[in-house]
Amino acid sequence: MSYASETRRRRTFAIISHPDAGKTTLTEKLLLFSGAIQIAGSVKARKASRHATSDWMEIEKQRGISVASSVMQMLYRDHVINLLDTPGHKDFSEDTYRVLTAVDSALMVIDAANGVEAQTRRLIEVCRQRDTPIITFVNKMDREVREPLDILDEVERELGMPCVPMTWPVGQGKSFGGIMNLRTKTMTVFESGSERRPQDFETIPLADRETLLKRFGHEFESAGQSMELAVGASPQWDHAAFLAGKQTPVFFGSGVNNFGVMEVLEALVDLAPPPGPRTSQLVVNKQPVVKVIEPADPNFSGVVFKVQANMDANHRDRIAFVRMASGKYSPGMKLKVQRTAKELRPTSVVTFLSQRREAVDEAYAGDIIGFTTHGGVQLGDTITDGANLQFTGLPFFAPELFMTVILKNPLRTKQLQQGLAQLGEEGAIQVFRPQIGGPMLLGAVGQLQFEVVQHRLKSEYDADVRLEGCQYTGARWITADTPAELRAFTDAYPQRMALDAADTLAFLCTSPYDVRLAQERFPKIHFHPLREHA
Ligand code: G4P
């Protein structure tokens, strides 16, 4: 098969939801119905407690799980579908944002009783920024839930884009009769239970009104009315608009009952986009050199969107997850890391087959491969088979929480530095070195990140630390048009300047007014709340 046809048959998507909406259940059913797993229960069994606490066991379990099941590949209708899971806990939302840079579409799962919840809202914002196409699945229709029109209205408001219903529920809760499929003009009849295969559900043509009225009576009639209202209020299905992130197809169902799931799987194949081009922006002699890389380009290129320490504390192995942007990977290939121009020498290269890791045979644009290394790879690194490329767009958010690190035993300084450097490279935490010296600062978006880092410093690097609060409440990355302007600024605020793990200069703030005041004093300085790896 040619490169072009290999990439055309790939679908790489992330599944996003608020905890408890049914993401794990749906993931499992997608794997089951594509034939990637044989028995339900395996994904579920690996899932950590949904109510992540600061309990160490939970965090360790979560880490184990995220290595095992954060990427899953399945084959369906001759398509290679890569499903990327996103961490459930909001304190790890930075990881989720980065995962979203590695996908071509997103599947949003909504609990029909709760509508769009807080965490989904933040994820939606990231998808919107990138114009990522979103498929919506409204789950738990077997429960007493909200009116479908009401849900659609909320999704539209939150997403800021129109919904186009693809299926429509007949009743809900105890009187849930099934879904009408607007494309096939049939009704699929609901039955509860988790053993049933999708093809075992009874379907009745919508044209057979008599039968439908006889069996579902009032529910069918009122579903027909609300569906008409919904369809009347929505635009026509426009595939191009969906691909541009301007409308979302909506499906209803009940994941736990295997119901309405097949429609989503088909939509992933039929509607979701294959990998698209990616932009590389390299700075050569201070001038940006922009290049668009097509997925079918024969040269290998990819970007590291996640780095994960292996669980074995005796080996400092790390897995760098690379989303391939172009070309083909074959075993033994020579690859280089753009940032260092060094050859990448992995101890193994794996692919993620529905939770098993296996040596990669071959992989193409859209696929995720994992390089096991002892270091030398950072989040955001571009990997190529030789060409000079630098993909951009991997976001780092300015932390809102800061702690200073105090080492209990000063003889362990080296271990602490190594630990912080590696955890910083993984993106587990952001590390800032104040320019005037003094203890290192840790910056996080979520409180749990501190606990994870403190724990891992002790268990993996034997560096016992105390974390202490400090006056900082924010940071902004700083750039200026000329070195002289930058110098004037850093001279004015020497105690506020720090370098992050990528040696990017940041201004530490103690209140939101700080930035405003500094900006007024130095109008030519640029303050960035987000740093894209470049
Ligand atoms: P998450 O990954 O988004 O956090 O959600 P998960 O799939 O774990 O589902 C959360 C809970 O919702 C689970 O119940 C699950 O069984 C249930 N659930 C998922 N889909 C449906 C559905 O379509 N209908 C109904 N009624 N429930 C659904 P639990 O009791 O917390 O766990 P379990 O004991 O069932 O495993």
CA distance 271 to 269: 6
Q: Is 481 annotated as a binding residue?
A: no
Cα(25) to centroid(ligand 1), Å: 6
Rounded mean pLDDT of 343-362? 78
pLDDT of residue 88: 63
CA distances to 212, 374, 432, 494 from 509, in Å = 64, 35, 13, 12
Residue 36, CA atoms < 13 Å, CB-side half-sphere: 28
User: Does the pLDDT value for residue 277 go beyond 80?
Assistant: yes
Q: Is 312 annotated as a binding residue?
A: no
Cα(264) to centroid(ligand 1), Å: 18
Rounded mean pLDDT of 409-429? 89
pLDDT of residue 501: 82
Q: Is 414 annotated as a binding residue?
A: no
| More confident site: 376 or 472 | 472
Retrieve residue 328's tokens. Answer: 């083909």
Q: Which atom of ligand 1 is nearest to the CA of 88?
A: 4
Question: What percentage of the chain exceeds 90 in pLDDT?
Answer: 63
Nearest CA-CA partner of 82 in 96, 70, 94, 93: 70
Site to substitute for ligand 1 among 256, 258, 261, most atoms within 8 A of C-beta: 256
Cα(44) to centroid(ligand 1), Å: 10
Whose CA is closest to atom 6 on ligand 1? 22
Q: Which atom of ligand 1 is nearest to the CA of 50?
A: 4
CA distance 398 to 506: 9
User: Does the pLDDT value for residue 346 go beyond 90?
Assistant: no
Q: Is 18 annotated as a binding residue?
A: yes
pLDDT band at 335; cut points 50, 70, 90: very high
Q: What residues contact residue 1 under an 8 Å CB cut-off, 6+ apart?
A: none
pLDDT of residue 49: 42
pLDDT of residue 51: 41
Q: Which own/partner pairs from 205-214 qualify as long-range (CB within 8 Å, at least 24 positions apart)?
A: 206/180, 212/187
pLDDT of residue 117: 87
Whose CA is closest to atom 4 on ligand 1? 20
Whose CA is closest to atom 35 on ligand 1? 256
Q: Which atom of ligand 1 is nearest to the CA of 109?
A: 3
Nearest CA-CA partner of 320 in 285, 369, 384, 362: 369
Cα(261) to centroid(ligand 1), Å: 14
User: Does the pLDDT value for residue 202 go beyond 90?
Assistant: yes
Cα(254) to centroid(ligand 1), Å: 10
User: Does the pLDDT value for residue 322 go beyond 90?
Assistant: yes
Q: Report residues whose beta carbon is within 6 angstroms of any ligand 1 atom.
A: 17, 19-25, 44, 50, 88, 139-140, 142-143, 254-257
Q: 205-254 pLDDT, tens per residue?
A: 999 999 999 999 999 999 999 999 999 999 999 999 999 999 999 999 99
Q: Is 17 annotated as a binding residue?
A: yes
Q: Is 106 annotated as a binding residue?
A: no
Site to substitute for ligand 1 among 15, 17, 18, 20, most atoms within 8 A of C-beta: 20
User: Does the pLDDT value for residue 376 go beyond 90?
Assistant: no
Q: Which atom of ligand 1 is nearest to the CA of 139?
A: 23
User: Does the pLDDT value for residue 298 go beyond 90?
Assistant: yes
For residue 279, the 8-state DSSP code is E
Q: Is 141 annotated as a binding residue?
A: yes
pTM: predicted TM-score of the whole model, two decimal places = 0.88
Beta strands, E only, 116-177: 134-139, 163-165, 167-170
ipTM value greater than 0.90: yes
DSSP string, 225-276: HHHHHHHHHSPPP-HHHHHTTS-EEEEE-BGGGTBSHHHHHHHHHHTS----
Cα(178) to centroid(ligand 1), Å: 19
Retrieve residue 140's tokens. Answer: 């738990």
